[in-house]
């Protein structure tokens, strides 16, 4: 940082005399290794939350990220202060829009809070990554528990749920404390930034420039009207398939009495991927093989590895890295294909030189991942063999069931940040009330923690990435349009998909969607059309 600060100051000074394009070019060269280092340390920490050396590097990283963020924002402010003709000749409108939201979301007044926020998120990741509990004499964590949690044996599923949420109950005080501190910090930042509340701050952080809370409220209403009834019908069907009177929380992850389709052993999953993508599309096949050959996919779950899956990007190498937690269950395949979709987008748009536009906006980026999940249906036999049709039906069912949950996560975050002084007990009550509204079929019985409104604390995004969840719901609506298109013309669907990937983040969300010829989720009738097509396919 001692070296970078004067270099950034020189770049700002050059804006008065040099061509703007030259300054931006040199800025890109300067920041690539910084962004790579930040991504790499974060990745290493997620890969091993136990190693004390990596943990100390992560603490340093969090401090440096907050400092570097301020340096970049200072240059972005200086760029935005230039005469608009000079700026628009040098960069695309979407870059200007993203810089504008960035400088509105963060400034030097909240630097300390940003450092503390990063540290609190790291605490949460570490806590969840080191969870450990027993089921029938075997030790599990929050990733490996997915095996017994989705087993055909209902008693085993319930035992897995009791162990999981028993651990969360034992750690409730710590989970509450971390989130209490996060809400207080974020509310304080919003005040310092002059925003009404952190909802406004959060939307700016997410670079949302062509829609806001009002459009999201309308989308929520459409999902509630058209999707929630479908989901309720699917839960009723699930109870019949399972042969139970009512689907309990521990049943939700298994749709049929035989259990979920089996994708085969974890150590064969990448080779199956080679086969699948070779038959799907030569561009994606070549890219996937390079990730596997060069070791840029961390697939298997292990002790100390943080839960979840994601794709990160190493700017200096201009390469994506895929992080998963495979344990040999059905969802592992969806996660792998999902993250490969993110990674492929970054490779497909590598001709875009400005980093802000190389990556899709958060909402659009999830289209790349979720759409590939559906476009890969014709080659799912590489993993599921004779159970492929059952996998496809389950996948479409889960896509519908996800949407009400996703909108619940979004709405509860609005409630949390609109009432930041509420406290932990009130937040659990908010979740419980909204959960009953969005998921009226859910029954937690007397399970510890979740029966008291604590399920949300397992959702990493609520802690780490506030308001990054409606993005999955918007993208799922578009991905289902890709699914519908692919049923009739898979080649056309794939071409539209790769064209979208190549655009990166060069346009705002709705404009990107419309380049594919598909509807924005905010368009009148878009959700209803998707619901009707899915209902027909699932015989509802």
Is 120 within a domain?
A: no
The enclosing H or E element of 134 equals strand 133-135
| Contact yes or no for 354/329 (Cβ under 8 A) | no
Please indicate, yes or no, if residue 290 is contained in any of the structural domains.
no
CA 287 to chain centre: 22
Q: Identify the H or E element spanning 101.
A: helix 93-105
Let me know if residue 357 belongs to a domain. Answer: no
pLDDT at 360 over 80: no
| Residue in the structure block whose two tokens are 């402010």 | 77
Asked whether residue 490 is assigned to any structural domain, the reply reads: no
d(CA 175, CA 292): 36
Q: State the pLDDT at residue 90.
A: 86
Residue 78 lies in a domain: yes
Contact yes or no for 230/535 (Cβ under 8 A): yes
Domain presence at residue 87: yes
Q: How confident is the model at residue 361 (pLDDT cuts 50, 70, 90)?
A: confident
pLDDT for the residue 84: 85
441 is a domain residue: no
Instruction: Please state, in angstroms and rounded to a whole number, the distance separating the CA atoms of residues 32 and 30.
Output: 6
pLDDT at 59: 94
Strand order from edge to edge, sheet including 319-326:
297-300, 319-326, 310-314
Q: What is the per-residue pLDDT for 353? A: 87
Check: pTM over 0.85? Answer yes or no: yes
Per-residue pLDDT for 170 more than 90? yes
- Average pLDDT, integer, range 27-45: 97
Cα–Cα dist 211/97, whole Å: 13
Instruction: State whether residue 411 is helix, strand or coil.
Output: helix
Digit-coded pLDDT (tens) for 393-428? 999 999 999 999 999 999 999 999 999 999 999 999
Does residue 504 surpass a pLDDT of 80?
yes
Look at residue 268 in the predicted model and tell me its pLDDT.
97
Kindly report, residue by residue over 244-262, the tens digit of the pLDDT. Answer: 999 999 999 999 999 999 9
Instruction: Dump pLDDT digits (tens) for 176-198.
Output: 999 999 999 999 999 999 999 99
Contact 452, 175 (CB under 8 A): no
Tell me the β-bridge partners of 297: 322
pLDDT in tens, 65-117: 999 999 999 999 999 999 988 898 889 999 999 999 999 999 899 999 999 99
In this structure, the strands spanning 138-140 and 297-300 are unpaired
DSSP string, 296-307: -EEEE--TTPPS
pLDDT of residue 359 exceeding 90: no
Write out the residue range of the structural domain in which residue 67 sits: 4-91
Please check whether residue 54 lies inside any domain of the structure.
yes
Domains in the chain: how many in total?
1
């Amino acid at each position: 940082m001692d070296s970078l600060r004067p270099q950034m100051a020189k770049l700002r000074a050059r804006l008065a005399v040099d061509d703007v394009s030259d300054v931006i070019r040199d800025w890109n060269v300067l920041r690539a290794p910084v962004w790579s280092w930040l991504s790499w340390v974060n990745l290493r920490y997620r890969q091993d939350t136990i190693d004390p050396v990596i943990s100390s590097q992560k603490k340093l990283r969090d401090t440096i990220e907050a400092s570097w963020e301020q340096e970049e924002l200072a240059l972005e402010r200086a760029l935005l202060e230039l005469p608009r003709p000079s700026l628009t000749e040098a960069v695309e409108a979407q870059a200007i829009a993203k810089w504008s939201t960035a400088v509105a979301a963060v400034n030097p007044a909240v630097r300390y809070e940003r450092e503390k926020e990063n540290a609190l998120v790291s605490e949460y990741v570490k806590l969840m990554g080191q969870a450990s509990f027993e089921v029938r004499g075997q030790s599990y964590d929050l990733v490996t528990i997915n095996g017994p949690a989705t087993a055909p044996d209902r008693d085993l599923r319930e035992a897995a749920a009791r162990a999981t949420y028993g651990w969360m109950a034992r750690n409730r005080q710590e989970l509450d404390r971390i989130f209490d501190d996060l809400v207080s910090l974020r509310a304080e930042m919003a005040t310092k930034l002059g925003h009404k509340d952190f909802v406004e701050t959060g939307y700016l952080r997410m670079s949302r420039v062509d829609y806001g809370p009002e459009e999201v409220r309308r989308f929520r209403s459409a999902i509630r009207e058209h999707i929630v009834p479908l989901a309720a019908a699917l839960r009723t069907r699930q109870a019949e398939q399972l042969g139970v009177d009512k689907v309990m929380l521990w049943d939700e992850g298994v749709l049929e009495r035989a259990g979920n389709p089996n994708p085969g052993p974890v150590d064969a999953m990448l080779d199956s991927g080679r086969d699948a993508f070779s038959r799907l599309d030569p561009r994606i096949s070549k890219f996937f093989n390079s990730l596997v050959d060069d070791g840029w996919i961390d697939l298997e779950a292990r002790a100390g590895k943080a839960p979840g899956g994601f794709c990160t990007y190493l700017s200096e190498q201009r390469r994506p890295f895929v992080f998963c937690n495979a344990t040999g269950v059905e969802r592992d395949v969806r996660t792998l294909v999902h993250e490969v979709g993110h990674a492929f987008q970054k490779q497909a748009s590598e001709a875009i030189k400005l980093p802000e536009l190389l990556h899709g906006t958060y909402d659009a980026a999830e289209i790349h991942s979720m759409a590939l999940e559906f476009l890969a249906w014709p080659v799912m036999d590489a993993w599921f063999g004779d159970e492929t049709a059952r996998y496809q039906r389950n996948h479409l069912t889960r896509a519908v069931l996800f949407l009400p949950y996703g909108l619940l996560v979004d709405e509860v975050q609005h409630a949390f940040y609109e009432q930041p002084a509420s406290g932990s007990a009130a937040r659990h009550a908010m979740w419980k009330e909204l959960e009953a509204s969005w998921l009226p079929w859910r029954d937690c019985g007397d399970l510890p923690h979740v029966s008291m409104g604590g399920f949300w604390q397992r959702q990493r995004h609520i802690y780490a990435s506030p308001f990054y969840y409606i993005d999955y719901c918007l993208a799922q609506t578009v991905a289902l349009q890709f699914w519908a298109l692919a049923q009739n013309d898979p080649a056309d669907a794939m071409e539209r998909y790769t064209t979208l990937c190549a655009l990166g983040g060069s346009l705002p969300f709705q404009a990107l969607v419309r380049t594919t010829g598909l509807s924005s989720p905010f368009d009148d009738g878009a959700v209803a059309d998707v619901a009707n097509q899915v209902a027909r396919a699932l015989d509802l």
